[in-house]
Amino acid sequence: MSKYQPIIGLEIHVQLNTTTKLFCRCLNEYAPEDPNKNICPFCTGQPGALPLLNKEAVKKAIQFGVAVGAKIPERTRWDRKNYFYADLPSGYQISQYDNPIVEGGLVEFYIEDKETGSYKKSSVELTRAHLESDAAKLLHSRGKTYVDFNRSGAPLVEIVTEPVIRSSAQAMAFVNELQLLVRRLGISDGDMEKGQMRFDCNLSLQNESQQSSGDLPSYRTETKNINSVRSLGRAIEYEIIRQTKLLEKGETPVQETRGWKDDLNKSTSQRSKEDAMDYRYFPEPDLKILEISSSDIPELNNLPQLPSDQRNQYIEMGLNMQIVNTFVGQSQLGDLFDSTIELKSVRSESKNKELTIAIANLLTGPVLAASTKNEKDIEEFITNENLLDIAELFSHDKINNKAVVKIIDELISGKKDVKNIVSENNLEQVSDTGALGNIVDSVITNNPKVVEEYKSGKVQVIGFMIGQCMKESKGQGNPKIFKDLLTEKLA
Ligand SMILES: [Zn+2]
């Protein structure tokens, strides 16, 4: 038990990628170069303008709820959250107070231990998620402040977690998973540079007796305006250090709202408990209570495959976590892998685990490297058939790594058929021990010094000898067999 243990709850604002805004028909479009392009009397807060609910936003919020295993209530209500601010001319935001559209839920993910490279399973319980409209955006320039209403009224789903997060690493892994999830569901682009995911972080430190009793500290701070995963990690670390210093002096940190200053790498106090906002929530009089029927709630099976399910499936196939995360995070690669595995089962190799791993290694290794180097999309130069052909030849010991790279080069230059490439370029690996034995003999004769070193115990020089054998065989020899033959003949 450490002296102080952080206890963290997050609020994540995710902007939904609906065509239009939440309560008007204005386009929901990121257009910073064209301020006040998509505005109307409602989203500029003019008196008498009435809201008109966007069903698409409701549908996307429900999809999120289903994906995290939450409860979707039969009825959900809209509330006015009243406050005055320059980016909110109506003086209120339409939100949901005590009757949110998503209740509960759980997000599962893995945390990487950077030191050991291992991964640990983790999860975060959600309290709720609700819909609300975004405020406008203020721009400060040369002593003046401008308002851009393009964002005003954009649909947000605010996801609130239980206070169960214990470290910055866990918080960062969790929001990364959320980003993957909303993108996979297609409900948000999750682009943090465009402000489409923003974080508020509630944090306090439990002392030893609170840790054993499970009691929460009497205070907590809320850090707002965090716009990236990296900043979230920094804001948490900053707050842990700041609160620890106060507690060690015998003081209790003030319950307050703090603002994260990304450029300064610190947060500053915005308001304390005494002047905490009182939002005077009340039911929104211009909108009906929303009835949700069971037919509005999709089955989990009808949603895109969740990142966590996909991850588990790959782990079961025997792929290592790094490759698993590459496939889950880069859907183009993941899709190519999936379709190649499908083709593999058609060729009745479905039980060949070694081949599965060969396909995964091929895609994330030489194929991805060639795609980057040649600035070409993978699909432009390689098909599922090609991938499977190469992986089969490799896992059946017919070709070696060098030949794999050569084949990919030939595919990039426009060749189509892997087997033709192999025969035209004489790439088939020689595994015939008779032919390879002759090469081994000549390498041993031509390198007496190295042989001596080997025999005197410097066994690692065998790598050099294998290299010489490979050279002599013009890259066609099977390095495994060379190694066996060398070991045998030098014994
Ligand atoms: Zn509008």
CB 178 within 8 A of CB 12: yes
Tens digit of pLDDT at every position of the chain (491 positions): 578 999 999 999 999 999 999 999 999 999 999 999 999 999 999 999 999 999 999 999 999 999 999 999 999 999 999 998 999 999 999 999 999 999 999 999 999 988 888 899 999 999 999 999 999 999 999 999 999 999 999 999 999 999 999 999 999 999 999 999 999 999 999 999 999 999 999 999 999 999 999 899 999 999 998 999 999 999 999 999 999 999 999 999 999 999 999 899 999 998 876 666 789 999 999 999 999 999 999 999 999 999 999 999 999 999 999 999 999 999 889 999 999 999 888 787 767 888 999 999 999 999 999 999 999 999 999 999 999 999 999 988 889 888 999 999 999 999 889 999 998 988 887 777 888 899 999 999 999 999 999 999 898 999 999 999 988 888 888 888 899 999 999 88
Domains in the chain: boundaries: 5-299, 305-424, 433-490
Provide CB contacts within 8 A for 333, sequence distance 6+.
326, 327, 363, 364, 368, 378
What is the bridge-based pairing of β-strands 266-272 and 256-261?
Answer: antiparallel
Predicted TM-score (pTM) of the model is 0.86
Gap from CA of 21 to ligand 1 centroid (Å)? 7
Question: By C-alpha distance, which of 134, 133, 75 is closest to 103?
Answer: 75
Q: How far is CA 487 from CA 88, 401, 431, 490, 491, in A?
A: 78, 22, 16, 5, 6
Q: Residue 14: what are its φ and ψ, rounded to 5°?
A: -115, 125
User: What is the pLDDT at residue 352?
Assistant: 82
User: What is the pLDDT at residue 142?
Assistant: 93
Rounded-to-integer distance, Cα 470 and Cα 402, Å = 10
Gap from CA of 77 to ligand 1 centroid (Å)? 21
Gap from CA of 282 to ligand 1 centroid (Å)? 23
CB 90 within 8 A of CB 127: no
Rounded-to-integer distance, Cα 10 and Cα 53, Å = 27
User: What is the pLDDT at residue 1?
Assistant: 55
What is the architecture of the domain spanning 433-490? Answer: Orthogonal Bundle (1.10)
Provide CB contacts within 8 A for 364, sequence distance 6+.
323, 326, 327, 333
CB atoms within 10 A of CB 49: 16
Q: How far is CA 108 from CA 111, 124, 180, in A?
A: 10, 7, 12
User: What is the pLDDT at residue 273?
Assistant: 65
Question: By C-alpha distance, which of 60, 248, 76 is closest to 156?
Answer: 60
Gap from CA of 224 to ligand 1 centroid (Å)? 26
Question: By C-alpha distance, which of 154, 151, 196 is closest to 175?
Answer: 196
Question: By C-alpha distance, which of 214, 217, 194 is closest to 204?
Answer: 217
CB 197 within 8 A of CB 225: no
Rounded-to-integer distance, Cα 200 and Cα 161, Å = 11
Residue with token string 């610190």: 266
Gap from CA of 194 to ligand 1 centroid (Å)? 20
Residue with token string 């620890």: 244
Gap from CA of 213 to ligand 1 centroid (Å)? 50
Gap from CA of 27 to ligand 1 centroid (Å)? 8
User: What is the pLDDT at residue 245?
Assistant: 96
Q: How many CA atoms lie within 13 A of 154 on its CB side?
A: 26
